Amino acid sequence: MFNFDEIVDRTKTPCEKWNKYKEQDVIPAWVADMDFKSPPCVIDALQQRVNEGVFGYTDIDDATYDAIISFVKRHYDWDIKKEWLIFTHGVVSSMNLACLSVETQSVMTTTPIYPHFIKAPKYAHKEVLAIRMKEENNRWVLDLEAMEKAITPTCKLFMLCNPYNPAGTIFTKAELEQLGAFCLKHDLTICSDEIHADLLLSPKSRHVPIASLNLELQERTITLMAPSKTFNIAGLQASFAIIPSAELRKSFKRTMGSMVGGINLLGITALKAAYLEGDAWLNELRIYLAENLKMVQTFVSKNPKLKLLDQEATFLAWIDASALNVKSPYEFFLQHGVGLSDGEPFGDKNFVRLNFGTQKSVLETILNRMQKAMDSLC
């Protein structure tokens, strides 16, 4: 058993999440960064590597490649090859590389969505075709009809987020097949951010990489993954792109050039340990997060002016606060001591995103403060 209830005082280090409100009586529940210690296997591997005392230029060894290949097969039933892997500092930098390396005048994605899906195309001077997700059967899903109406001949890249951040949707195989057919019809390359693929909140859930569906989609997809969210090692900046197409891979590498390097030696160490030995910890984490989600759902159910659709993955709850009739739901809850993510950068200022990847005692305090905020409206 792993102790996810253990409180870690993160204010003693320059922690982005906790330092944002360091001088205020505000509990941070914003950036996608959990408050749990990383798995013991990761900590032990890092300590052993640090004890060696030499931190020079480091190769990525075959054991690291094998760890990734094995993890992807074990968790997603997808057979990948060593030569398909390209290592980067993070998924965000990889998204930007994809927008620069694919020849296109515009990029299609969905909204509301993690802000870098909108920023990355703009940085590459591409037009953004952002199609709003729709509510269906109490889930956030793709609006394929709206996508068909909006697509243009100059758009050759679709940016997918699966599982979906911020809405928590795990796209089903059938939904991905429909999206795949759309991309094939319009000759779109797919950049699929799957960084939350392991954070599934039901034992029945299964993540399907869109590239694993068939060879046609595999050859036009750049899949972005990382252990950073899953094992809480984002600060080690270890991520990778899976690019089966030799042509796409060449273009991606050429865009990287000498400007974007690979992962550092401690990132390599942590990634390998997590993927080789972290499954038991991950299984318990999923259970703990699912219990935390129930706490959030109970809170929302008590407040008819708030709405939360079915949450299938991630530790991020996308809460509709439009019925509050306040100028900014983010500012409203901040005034009551909770620092959520403002929905506006995601595409809808009437929402807030709540990070429930924290200890139950901390989450309880967060929800109590949010309840006091709700009670103040009565």
Q: Let me know whether 302 and 184 are in one domain.
A: no
Residues 205 and 85 in one domain: yes
pLDDT at 262 (0 to 100): 80
> In Å, what is the CA distance from 11 to each residue of 15, 16, 22, 306?
7, 9, 7, 31
Q: Are residues 283 and 204 in the same domain?
A: no
Same domain as 26, residue 73: no
DSSP strands (E only) in 283-337: 316-320
Looking at the fold, whether 139 and 183 belong to one and the same domain comes out as: yes
- Asked if 283 and 137 sit in the same domain, the reply is no
Among residues 225, 245, 277, which one ends one of the domains? 277
Answer yes or no: do 34 and 179 share one domain: no
Domain boundary among 253, 277, 301: 277
Phi-psi region of 172 (alpha: psi -120 to 50; beta: other; left: phi over 0): beta
Q: Is residue 3 part of a domain?
A: no
Give yes or no: residues 85 and 221 share one domain.
yes
For residue 197, count CB atoms less than 10 angstroms from its CB and return exposed for 0-12, middle for 13-18, buried for 19 or more.
buried
360 inside domain: yes
Q: Does residue 217 fall inside a structural domain?
A: yes
Same domain, 243 and 334: no
Q: How far apart are CA 139 and CA 37, in angstroms?
A: 31
Strand order in the sheet with 338-342: 27-29, 338-342, 351-355, 316-320
Does residue 171 form part of some domain?
yes
Q: Torsion over CA of 253, 256, 257 and 263, rounded to 10 degrees?
A: -100
CA-based nearest residue to 162, from 76, 79, 239, 231: 76
pLDDT, residue 316, reads 98
**E strand residue ranges, 262-355:** 316-320, 338-342, 351-355
End-to-end CA distance of the chain: 43
Residues 66 and 136 in one domain: yes
In a domain, 1, yes or no: no
Stated length of the chain: 378
Q: Judge if the upstream peptide bond of residue 329 is cis by omega within 30 degrees of 0.
A: no
Same domain membership, residue 297 and residue 235: no
Kindly state the tokens that stand for 211: 């590239």
CA gap 129, 151 in Å, rounded: 8
Model-wide pTM > 0.85: yes
Closest C-alpha to 277, from 47, 71, 60, 73: 71
Residue 269 is assigned to a structural domain of this protein: yes
CATH of the domain at 27: 3.90.1150.10
Residues 16 and 81 occupy one common structural domain: no
Burial of 378 from C-beta contacts in 10 A (0-12 / 13-18 / 19+): exposed
**Position 240 in a domain:** yes
Q: Given this model, what pLDDT does residue 260 score? A: 82
Residue that terminates a domain, selected from 243, 277, 311: 277
Q: pLDDT (tens digit, 0 to 9) for every residue of the chain, 378 residues total?
A: 899 999 999 998 999 999 999 989 999 999 999 999 999 999 999 999 999 999 999 999 999 999 999 999 999 999 999 999 999 999 999 999 999 999 999 999 999 999 999 999 999 999 999 999 999 999 999 999 999 999 999 999 999 999 999 999 999 999 999 999 999 999 999 999 999 999 999 999 999 999 999 999 999 999 999 999 999 999 999 999 999 999 999 999 999 997 888 899 999 999 999 999 999 999 999 999 999 999 999 999 999 999 999 999 999 999 999 999 999 999 999 999 999 999 999 999 999 999 999 999 999 999 999 999 999 997
Evaluate whether 356 touches 363 at the Cβ level (below 8 Å).
yes
CB of 340 closer than 8 Å to CB of 370: no
Give the helix/strand (H/E) hosting 97.
helix 91-101
The pLDDT score that the predictor gives to residue 170 is 98
Count of domains for the chain? 2
Domain containing 225 — which CATH number? 3.40.640.10
pLDDT reported for residue 378: 77
CA–CA dist 215, 139 (Å, integer): 29
Judge whether 2 lies within some domain: no
Contact of 231 with 39, CB cutoff 8 Å: yes
Structural domain of 61: 53-277
